[in-house]
Structure 1
Amino acid sequence: MNNVGKNIRRLRQKKGWTLVQIAEKVQVSVPAFSKIETGPTDINMSRLKQLADIFGVSILDILYDEGENPQEALHNEAAMLKAKIQEKEETVSNLQRKLIDLYEEVTKK
């Protein structure tokens, strides 16, 4: 959870907002928001979603460190798997054509 707090602080500072400004946006006290950033207070999903909306980022951008984007890694892996599936489908299609050709050759005799 400490990384989450650090990421929230980084996002707040990136926006140029003070603790007072973000606490008002989130509708909590400044000490309460400070505890979110420093780690003593665990953040729940609804608060996480609220902060993501306020910062204009995804929840994953708050959960993971900057530059560590699991969505991108999953997207790349999905693209690679789709390419492999397409390759296998082409192989199956070619084998089906060969099978049909062999069947027609055998039935002509």
Structure 2
Amino acid sequence: MKTLGKKIRLLRHQKGWSQEDVAKRLDISIPAFSKIETGITDINLSRLEQIANLFDMSVVSLLTFNDAEYEQKYQSELENVNKKLMDRETEVIDLQKKVIELFEELRQSKATA
């Protein structure tokens, strides 16, 4: 059941929902939902149907949801985000260099004045 809980957590993150959001929608406590996600609690069929409906899926789709498919789907998006992050890091380094250069110029101009 741990893999089912992992799938549910992955779907919850995909929707941008907190555990509290899902627990409220399922009309259960947050700790009860947390136990579902961690695999501590086995899920009965009615709860499974309720969770599947929450994610607009059939029970079969929920049970067969594949993490690898999810990863493939978002791999290019992740690569784009990483590239943007690297570009931003380069910009920050360039700006830091410029600040240092300006500081040195300012210090030299004060020393000669």
TM above 0.5, yes or no, is yes
Q: Distance in 2 between matches of 1:64 and 1:5?
A: 12
Q: Distance in 1 between matches of 2:61 and 2:40?
A: 20
Q: Distance in 2 between matches of 1:68 and 1:60?
A: 17
* SS of corresponding position for 1:36: helix
**Structure 2: which amino acid aligns with 1:57?**
M
**Structure 1: which amino acid aligns with 2:46?**
S
Which structure 2 residues correspond to residues 85-96 of structure 1 after superposition, within 5 A? none
How far off is 1:18 after superposition?
0.2
Matched, 1:53 2:47: no
Unmatched 5+ residue regions in structure 1? 70-109
Structure 1's consecutive aligned runs of 4 or more residues displaced over 2 angstroms after TM superposition are none
TM-score under structure 2 length normalisation: 0.56
Q: Percent identity?
A: 48
How far off is 1:60 after superposition?
1.9
Unmatched 5+ residue regions in structure 2? 70-113
Alpha carbons 2:23, 2:29 under 8 Å: kept: yes
Matched, 1:13 2:38: no
Between the two structures, name the one with larger relative contact order (CA 8 Å, sep ≥ 6): 1
Alpha carbons 1:4, 1:64 under 8 Å: kept: no
Matched, 1:2 2:16: no
TM-score under structure 1 length normalisation: 0.58
Matched, 1:30 2:4: no
Q: Distance in 1 between matches of 2:56 and 2:26?
A: 14
| RMSD of aligned alpha carbons | 1.8
Structure 2 vs 1, CA of residues 67 and 17 (structure 1 numbering), >3 Å: closer, same or farther? closer
Count of residue correspondences: 69
Structure of greater Rg: 1
